[in-house]
């Protein structure tokens, strides 16, 4: 009897130890080494210097799962200091890894720095890009997708395949020429064209009857875009990590720095269809096309291209609801606040503010650190349209913010002190 009791006791210890180990085991790590260089590419058919990561343009995608730990060693082979920011990643407790001036010093030329952070409690469609000067205009950007863990169900219909599209405007002039133009007091002109995944000849082959999740990000620096697929409605399911009302659109606006995810079912005849991106609120309108090709198709896509909305701001506002938009001057009138959507507004890392208008947002200051708020119209950010917000409390705890990393780079007054 005593032996049986002792055996049960020992088994209990083993089970408890196993449970303790499982609950305290670290989440998986993803390791990357990125070599940042200049290279020659012809995104719009004209050879030009671009910024490559591991000889890729756009840069390599990061495909993570909620709570993964990300370790990226960035080796800067450029002739200028360089930084990468992880757009939309919350950096819970790790503001030192945000990759913007104010929290990080740039990586010197011919040097390296290693980012270490966790994608804590996040899912969704994001991107990374260079945050210093006008580097972003020359490349160095890429997709950053976070998938849900297998034990977590998604709140929308299942899909068969995941497709990432990086869409945005592009200049044939490199970032140094664009900087020189801004420094001389001139505005940037209309971009020279639009790109889909770094080029103008994108083709996706799909199978009739399957449903595809398109992750679409506007990686451009100047313009809003309208995205559409000929003959195929799109069901919006996510914007930058926030699930949305599952409404169906023939086309959808994506402003600079924004990301969306839509479900598209291939229900049409077996042939080719145009994938179209065009600029919004510009004269003239820039357009680029790709091809959605049904498997076995022998029929090219037919004209005309699906039409985009005209210059209509209110139509664009409807796509992903925030708390409140308005025209004219914003007022602090409490009575008007009663009309704000405080119930089911979406959460975004980038929100549009239309000309001569305002946008109201609600922010919970629950993430300690120094945070950069900036314009995604990159020429405006370069000229100073940014501000820093410090979220602070007196608590000294690694549960709210980690210490400055031991590999931190120092610059400016930090070097002098």
pLDDT score for 325: 53
**Ranges under pLDDT 50 in the chain:** 15-24, 320-323
pLDDT score for 7: 52
d(CA 37, CA 79): 9
pLDDT score for 313: 59
The C-alpha torsion from 312 through 318 and 320 to 324, rounded to 10°, is: 100
Peptide bond into 58 cis (omega under 30): yes
Cα–Cα separations (whole angstroms), residue 126 to 61, 79, 89, 196, 244:
10, 28, 8, 16, 16
Domains, the chain, ranges and CATH? Answer: 29-152 (2.60.40.420), 161-317 (2.60.40.420), 324-391 (no CATH)
CB 105 within 8 A of CB 115: no
* Residues 6+ away with beta carbon under 8 Å from 337: none
d(CA 254, CA 224): 6
d(CA 364, CA 73): 31
pLDDT score for 316: 57
* Residues 6+ away with beta carbon under 8 Å from 322: 341, 345, 346, 348, 351, 359, 360, 361
Secondary structure element (H or E) that encloses residue 18, with its range: helix 2-24
pLDDT score for 417: 56
pTM of the model: 0.89
d(CA 262, CA 274): 17
SS3 337: helix
pLDDT score for 346: 80
């Amino acid at each position: 009897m005593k032996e049986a009791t002792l055996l049960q006791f020992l088994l209990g210890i083993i089970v408890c130890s196993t449970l303790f180990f499982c609950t305290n085991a670290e989440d998986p790590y993803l390791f990357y080494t990125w070599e940042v260089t200049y290279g020659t590419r012809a995104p719009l058919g004209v050879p030009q210097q671009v910024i490559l990561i591991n000889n890729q343009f756009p840069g390599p995608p990061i495909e993570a799962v909620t709570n993964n730990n990300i370790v990226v060693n960035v080796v800067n082979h450029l002739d200028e200091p360089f930084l990468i920011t992880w757009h939309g990643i919350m950096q819970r407790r790790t503001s030192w890894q945000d990759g913007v001036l104010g929290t990080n010093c740039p990586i010197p030329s011919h040097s390296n720095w290693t980012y270490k952070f966790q994608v804590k409690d996040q899912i969704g469609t994001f991107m990374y890009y260079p945050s210093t000067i006008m580097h972003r205009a020359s490349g160095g950007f890429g997709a950053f997708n976070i998938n849900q863990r297998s034990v977590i169900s998604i709140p929308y219909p299942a899909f068969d395949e995941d497709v990432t599209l990086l869409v945005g405007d592009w200049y044939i002039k490199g970032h140094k020429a664009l900087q020189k133009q801004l420094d001389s007091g001139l505005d940037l002109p209309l971009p020279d064209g639009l790109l889909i995944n770094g080029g103008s000849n994108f083709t996706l082959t799909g199978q009739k009857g399957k449903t595809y999740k398109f992750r679409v990000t506007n990686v451009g620096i100047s313009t809003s875009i309208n995205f559409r697929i000929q003959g195929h409605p799109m069901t919006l399911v996510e914007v930058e990590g926030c699930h949305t009302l599952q409404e169906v659109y023939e086309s959808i606006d994506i402003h600079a720095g924004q990301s969306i995810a839509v479900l598209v079912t291939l229900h049409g005849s077996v042939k080719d269809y145009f994938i179209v991106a065009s600029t919004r609120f510009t004269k003239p309108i820039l357009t680029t096309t790709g091809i959605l090709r049904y498997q076995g198709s022998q029929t090219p896509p037919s004209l005309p291209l699906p039409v985009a909305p005209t210059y209509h701001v209110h139509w664009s506002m409807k796509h992903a609801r925030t708390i409140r938009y308005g025209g004219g001057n914003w007022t602090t009138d409490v009575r008007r606040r009663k009309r704000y959507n405080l119930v089911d507004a979406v959460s975004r890392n980038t929100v549009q503010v239309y000309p001569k208008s305002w946008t109201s947002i609600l922010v919970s200051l629950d993430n300690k650190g120094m945070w950069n708020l900036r314009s995604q119209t990159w020429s405006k950010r370069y000229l100073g349209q940014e501000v820093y917000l410090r979220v602070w409390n007196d608590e000294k705890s690694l549960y709210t913010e980690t210490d400055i990393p031991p590999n931190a780079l120092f610059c400016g007054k930090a070097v002098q002190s």
